[in-house]
């Protein structure tokens, strides 16, 4: 199985919504960031094959990377484009269920991406290490 390329979704050249989330995690909970980056690494290696407890399908082409640290549940919502490209659409902390508004936001981002992939794929590299954030 070829490796999955993982990118940040971008609204515009200066608006990459998910980029601020790992930077905030680095300031507030570095160990959580390290775990999130490990899950992104698993997504790179396994792509569509990544399953619970690491990832789960939510609905309408939106998936979640699942990270737990203590009592906190971190989620990174993503979608696939083709067989080997995944876009990170949202990052959030949740208590029970992923809020519908976050799923709807990811769906809207997926639709915009599908209309113009090059415009909505950030050139910022998804970090593999917490020091790169």
Give the three-state DSSP class for 77.
Answer: strand
128 part of a folded domain: no
Please give the structure tokens belonging to residue 10.
């971008």
52 part of a folded domain: yes
131 part of a folded domain: no
Domain of 56 in residue numbering reads as 5-120
127 part of a folded domain: no
Please give the structure tokens belonging to residue 64.
């979640």
pLDDT digits (tens, 9 = 90+) for 80-96: 999 899 999 988 887 77
132 part of a folded domain: no
65 part of a folded domain: yes
Give the three-state DSSP class for 78.
Answer: strand
- Can you tell me which residue has the tokens 């999955």? 4
133 part of a folded domain: no
Domain of 91, CATH number, reads 3.30.2310.20
How many structural domains does the chain have?
A: 1
Q: What is the pTM of this model?
A: 0.92
pLDDT digits (tens, 9 = 90+) for 38-76: 999 999 999 999 999 999 999 999 999 999 998 889 999
């Amino acid at each position: 199985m070829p490796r999955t390329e993982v990118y940040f979704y971008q609204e515009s050249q200066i608006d990459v919504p998910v980029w601020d989330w790992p930077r905030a995690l680095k300031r507030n909970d570095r160990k959580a960031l390290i775990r999130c980056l490990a899950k992104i690494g698993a997504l790179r290696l396994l792509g569509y094959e990544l399953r619970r407890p690491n990832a789960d399908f939510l609905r309408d082409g939106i998936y979640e990377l699942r990270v737990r640290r203590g009592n906190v549940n971190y989620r990174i919502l993503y979608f696939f484009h083709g067989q080997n490209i995944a876009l990170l659409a949202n990052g959030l902390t949740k208590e029970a269920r992923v809020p519908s508004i976050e799923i709807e936001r990811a769906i809207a981002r997926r639709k915009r991406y599908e209309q113009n992939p090059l415009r909505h794929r950030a050139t910022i590299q998804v970090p593999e290490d917490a020091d790169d954030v």
